[in-house]
Structure 1
Amino acid sequence: MKRPKPVILDISEHQSPEKLNYGQLSQELDWVIIRVQYGSWHQDRFFETHLERFRAWNIPVNVYAWVRGIDESDMIQEAEDFYRRAKSYQPSFWWLDIEERTMGNMVKGCEVYRQRLKDLGAKKVGAYIANHRYQEFGFSSLATQKYDGIWLPTYGRNSGNYEGANPTATSVYDLHQYTSNGRLVGYNGPLDLSRLASAKSVDFFTGNDSINQSSYHLGERVQITGIYESSRSQVLLKPLRTQGRITKIISGVANPYLLDEGMGWVNESVMSKIGDHQYQVKPGDTLSEVAQGLGVSWQRLATLNQLANPDLIYPGQMLNY
């Protein structure tokens, strides 16, 4: 079968720079994912050379780190070391390589790692999770929804080509590493190759598609008529509340907006903007009189402000309109 496009290569110190022809490889690639560390204590010997050489040939770069934290504080330290080592290269995506059980609750530990990277300034953080360890470690589509990308390996016959063998742990993933035996001009040896396996664009991973490119913005309050359990869900649910604040935006998914750090996910078909204007209720005000004075319907005011009893407002209350 033909090699899938885009061509995505991941490399580490196991591919020595002296054996790589970066110019030839760059003619074959769309982007490269470079290992920075194996836990905190082992910095990849050649990651800086790989980053500099591929950048010189205008190849977009992501970075990854093998996760080895033994508790939450150790996960935070690994995240800080990872960020410190790679930040000056401004990678467009940061990946956690999750293949080894190093603490009891790997889902929680890796979430601490992910959040620390975000706090430090990493805009997009994804997870590479061993297919055979995904469920063993407790991962699920719900547990991974905070990651900006999911990357899973499955090789099949591992012929070097993609032959249709896909990950089995979950159907929710963005990249698929389909071989560890790939061949590209510019290196005389086996290489890890991956393919794009979701609707997200190449630009989303390579830095040309801003995570916040949207008609809505982080921190904006919105009115909603329905909500989804995940960014990829197609099942519309009844929301617990009719409004919320956008706390995360991702691209390339059906429901790109996360409300209130976990209330649920929405898209533009079920949401509308709430104005930033407020009115302070005065003694003797009624909702209908306030609405008339503001030029809106009392029903809209009741809905925007989640008034269970429209006849009950009180002096000093702030009404959104």
Structure 2
Amino acid sequence: MNLSFKKIAGLFMGAMAALTISTTVSASKTKIADVSQYQGNINWYKASKQLKFAIIRVQHGDTGDADFRIDSHKDINANGAYKYKVPFGQYGYAEFSSVADAKKEAKDFYKRSSSKARFYVLDNEHRKGKGSEQSYVNAWLSTMRKLTNKPLVYYSYQNYVNVHKINYSKFDGSWIANYSQKPNVATDLWQYTSKGRLSGISGNVDLSKVIDSKTVNSWLKQSSADVAKPTYFTSVPASRTITTSKNIYQYQDVNFKSRLSKIAAGKKLTVKQVRRSDHGAYRFQLTNGHYITANKEFVSN
């Protein structure tokens, strides 16, 4: 075997090994778990190696309910999932007993949830009110629609849906529990066991299977609310002066291709006009003809 062939063969084998590792890692992220304070302190680094996504509890009931509690690990779990790049939704166990109560519970749930959640879930499995359960569900949904554009998912167990004849077709999807067999009601995500195992969790955990991948994947799309977008000055301040809040650079051109010198934080500058780069970003042109960012994170008036 000549040297060139050895090198080519070595590169090929290395590439194949890397592809195998990558495929194995990707393939291993197939589990879907819902978690709460009852799973204790989750090792999210380990869990992230297996999780496709997680659903994290925020609350059980709401103020006024005898057994109301905010999940003590809601922020710990949300921050852990986010840190290790596990997409997650959040759910609230509902105990509403009227339309007004359902609206209040939706508002409180939303306030207590993480802004990084990709979707929100109504956990509807506890009947309290004397009125129409459907009217409570509808009230929760309409209230949440006014608060967020993120997907809203209906959760319950098979028997509850059948007994109360719940219509959840106006939600962005459904997640139904039934441990004996696949649910006989419409579902996009099936919670099939309460005795699952997951790396990073010492005890049992609920696990679910995807039934409709298109619908479930739509819940995981990153909302614009998850990505911090810079806010720009779009016009020259009345004073025509701005102050740098961080160290920045000035450039010779509006497209920032020719960098000149650094400008220290706290420097006052006089602005001539606002122009936009070829990609649409706003720039300040200074009275010396040079350009700096108009991003409010870096400059203020």
TM-score (ref. length: structure 2): 0.60
Deviation at 1:205, TM superposition (A): 1.7
Deviation at 1:206, TM superposition (A): 1.2
Instruction: Work out whether residues 11 and 192 of structure 1, in 8 Å CA contact, stay in contact via their aligned partners in 2.
Output: yes
Q: Determine which of 90, 104, 117 is the counterpart of 1:91.
A: 117
Quote the residue 1:74 is aligned against: 101
Q: Tell whether 2:128 aligns with 1:112.
A: no
- Partner-residue secondary structure (3-state), 1:10: strand
List structure 1 segments (4+ residues) > 3 angstroms apart after TM superposition: 3-6
- Partner-residue secondary structure (3-state), 2:153: strand
Deviation at 1:180, TM superposition (A): 0.3
Quote the residue 2:14 is aligned against: none
Deviation at 1:68, TM superposition (A): 0.6
Deviation at 1:203, TM superposition (A): 3.2
Give the Cα separation in 1 of the matches to 2:28 and 2:207: 9
Give the Cα separation in 2 of the matches to 1:69 and 1:4: 39
Q: Tell whether 2:208 aligns with 1:194.
A: yes
Q: Tell whether 2:70 aligns with 1:56.
A: no
Give the Cα separation in 2 of the matches to 1:184 and 1:134: 29
Q: Determine which of 182, 204, 215 is the counterpart of 1:166.
A: 182
Q: Determine which of 148, 170, 176 is the counterpart of 1:152.
A: 176
Quote the residue 2:73 is aligned against: 46
Deviation at 1:73, TM superposition (A): 0.6
TM-score (ref. length: structure 1): 0.57
Instruction: Work out whether residues 51 and 89 of structure 1, in 8 Å CA contact, stay in contact via their aligned partners in 2.
Output: no
Paired AA for residue 21 in structure 1:
N
Paired AA for residue 105 in structure 2:
E
Say which one has the larger Rg: 2
Cα deviation per residue 1:283-304 (whole Å; 9 max; x = unaligned)? xxxxxxxxxxxxxxxxxxxxxx
Percent of aligned pairs sharing the same letter = 30
Quote the residue 1:36 is aligned against: 58
- Partner-residue secondary structure (3-state), 1:14: helix
- Partner-residue secondary structure (3-state), 2:138: helix
1:208-219 superposed matches below 5 A: 208=222
- Partner-residue secondary structure (3-state), 2:111: helix
Number of aligned positions between the proteins: 192
Instruction: Work out whether residues 12 and 34 of structure 1, in 8 Å CA contact, stay in contact via their aligned partners in 2.
Output: yes
Cα deviation per residue 1:16-58 (whole Å; 9 max; x = unaligned)? 12xx211111101010000001111321111010000110000
Quote the residue 1:177 is aligned against: 191
CA 120–209 in structure 1, closer or farther in 2 if over 3 Å, else same: closer
- Partner-residue secondary structure (3-state), 1:27: coil
CA 15–192 in structure 1, closer or farther in 2 if over 3 Å, else same: same
- Partner-residue secondary structure (3-state), 2:49: helix
Q: Which runs of 5+ in 2 are unaligned?
A: 1-26, 64-68, 225-301
- Partner-residue secondary structure (3-state), 1:32: strand
Quote the residue 1:137 is aligned against: 164
CA 203–167 in structure 1, closer or farther in 2 if over 3 Å, else same: closer
Instruction: Work out whether residues 92 and 205 of structure 1, in 8 Å CA contact, stay in contact via their aligned partners in 2.
Output: yes
Deviation at 1:6, TM superposition (A): 3.3
Cα deviation per residue 1:121-154 (whole Å; 9 max; x = unaligned)? 2421111012111121121xxx211000111111
CA 100–119 in structure 1, closer or farther in 2 if over 3 Å, else same: same
- Partner-residue secondary structure (3-state), 2:54: strand
Structure 1 or 2: larger strand share?
Answer: 2
Give the Cα separation in 2 of the matches to 1:9 and 1:148: 19
Cα deviation per residue 1:41-83 (whole Å; 9 max; x = unaligned)? 3211110100001100000010000111110111011000001
Quote the residue 1:6 is aligned against: 30
